[in-house]
Structure 1
């Protein structure tokens, strides 16, 4: 581990210890929310700029806007991806983004915190209880109801999918609402959703047609991932050879990462773009996506394409793709025979997508 990484690990650990008790002493059980139509502005805090982490809060945003349909939601995030991801979310109003390097953008950094304090919110929500900046933002906000993201033990004990990073914020927030005398909800947590437009879907289909020039069904693969999550070239080359042999009646298109590298040596037809929504539209037009745990895997899940996540080191229960026949495979425990049994099952069942009518 490099010296800078060690400093960052120490800094995060220190900040978590300093902020973990923020909000613990406050009790709002004596506050009753009489009319949910009174909720006009909500702040959701997820100060993280990674593609996957931002996509993983879309279920919570859907939950909040379904409960409070008349509200406007501000997002406290980091980086520049949030306006792209939430482009078609009608209830999203302001994107309040922390600079990635606060000490190089100190004035902007301070202005962000000032803007949170100046705006009057009805509810402030921290997504991740371990986020120091998230807890501080809720504490600092001028909100009547403050939810710090703390775990709901009741949900932990009865929900077998509670550990999932997209789901436990929803379960925790539902539990918090019961403290405000809201009825208990047992609805299934919404899937990740990029909310592609019909025009974007049509464009994705047209791009695929320009790559393959045929009417075969399509499988998209993504062979890259960061750090230890990235499977070896040998693994991918063997898997791709078997995939190509088994599914000769399918197009196999490799989605390339921003680094423009390929673990199979660019042997498959490829698509490269830095436009997240365009990449999503390509995957939405496919029948199956296969890739290691990464932001692009969550992107595939967010466009309702059946997604097979290949896990080697990540926590499957926390990050696995879900909904629409999606599944995680532990490559350390599964055989290639089992992979293809799963692939066959998904392809034979067909794709059920909210985007089908646009294709």
Structure 2
């Protein structure tokens, strides 16, 4: 059986789409997989079981990326073609079955919408497969101690949904302080290659002997391997947040000017906490749609720390069961 899986350019959406891929991989053992996606998302698919190849689709003028994809796969017969980008490509390729996502249903979480597309309820949790080399690299990067591991994603691709750095600093300090739920934890701070400057105050707030950082210096699968060791991930609504949830670690996503009902961390130990203001109220009160203001003002530190402590405690009482 051969599967062509066409998914997103964006990292977060690509991670969520692995719910669909997981369904096929686990339902049809031995299925041969070809993934087509954007260059940023491509690395998360490198350890997919029975992977034949990954076709990167950098955007080109006049839809040239779709023409390039068609040329690269048209000579193959596909038992299943999944197109989560709603293009016409699935209909002009030779195959037996076509599964095409046509727009978003705003009454559902995006993963639940994918489950409806497959007629599978409940949908599988997203999953990013990790190879042993990435786990070995993670072990080399992180201290081999009994101390808990807190991973923090203090950045995002839009200032509007980026929680204030000083609030991250206070939350980390409270959670890792003596008597805190993550007393003495090692802190790993993660972000995209161009986001380190944005996170510098958060990085510098943690003593050097208790911190590590990854800002584009390691593969995404190594980041995944670090995340699966975490006792807690706290971060803004971002692709890294969805990676954390897919790793199985307790994940607390911080939401304001984005809809948690559509994009909350979708996992057994995924939780969302949002600003005291609703999404609609935030959007109504922003200066303009083009403003570069921070829109996370009504999310206090105390609210985040309380939710984080409750999540970690619940996870520990469960016996730290990722599944």
Taking structure 2 as the reference length, what is the TM-score of the superposition?
A: 0.77
Q: Distance in 1 between matches of 2:94 and 2:77?
A: 5
Report the alpha carbon displacement of residue 276 of structure 1 after superposing the two structures with TM: 0.8
What residue in structure 2 maps to residue 336 of structure 1? 301
> Are 2:115 and 1:170 equivalent residues in the alignment?
yes
Shift of 1:221: 0.9
CA 1:265/1:197 → structure 2, altered by over 3 Å: closer, same or farther? closer
Q: Structure 1 residues 126 and 311 mapped into 2: Cα distance closer, same or farther (>3 Å)?
A: same
- Asked if 1 retains the 8 angstrom alpha-carbon contact of 2:138 and 2:225, the reply is yes
Equivalent position SS for 2:245 = helix
CA–CA separation in structure 1 for the residues paired with 2:81 and 2:128 = 23
**2:12 corresponds to:** 52
For structure 2, list consecutive stretches of 5 or more residues without a partner in the other structure. 278-298
Query: Which of 129, 147, 152 is matched with 1:195 structurally?
Result: 129
The total of aligned residue pairs comes to: 285
Aligned to 2:148: 217
Matches of 1:313 and 1:348 in 2, distance apart?
Answer: 28
* Deviation by residue 1:256-306 (Cα, 9 ceiling, x = unmatched): 431223152532223122411111222222111000011111111121111
> Once the 2 structures are TM-superposed, how far is the Cα of residue 232 of structure 1 from its aligned partner?
2.5
The 8 Å contact of residues 11 and 40 in structure 2, kept in 1 or not, is answered as no
**Greater Rg by CA:** 1
CA pair 99-343 structure 1, distance change in 2 beyond 3 A: closer
2:245 touches 2:251 (CA, 8 Å); kept in 1? yes
Residue in 2 aligned with 1:115?
72
Contact 1:204 1:285 (C-alpha < 8 Å) held by counterparts: no
Equivalent residue in structure 1 for 2:202, among 228, 244, 264: 264
Q: Describe the superposition over 1:191-215 as per-residue Cα deviations: whole angstroms up to 9, x where unpaired.
A: 22222234533442342117xxx43
The whole-number CA distance in structure 2 between the counterparts of 1:101 and 1:111 is 10
Mapped pair 1:250 → 2:250: no
8 Å CA contact 2:170–2:301 kept in 1: the answer is: no
How big is the alpha-carbon RMSD for the aligned residues of Structure 1 and Structure 2? 2.8
Does the 8 Å contact 2:22/2:126 carry over to 1? no
Contact 2:99–2:117 under 8 Å retained in 1: no
State the 1:59 CA deviation.
1.0
Superposition deviation, residue 190 in structure 1: 1.9
Q: Which runs of 5+ in 1 are unaligned?
A: 1-39, 175-184, 355-359
Deviations along 1:176-235, one digit per CA (max 9) or x if unpaired, are xxxxxxxxx54x32222222234533442342117xxx4311111111011122122343
TM-score under structure 1 length normalisation: 0.70
Any idea what the Cα deviations from partners look like across 1:310-350, whole Å, max 9, x if unmatched? 11111101111122322011033565333333222222232
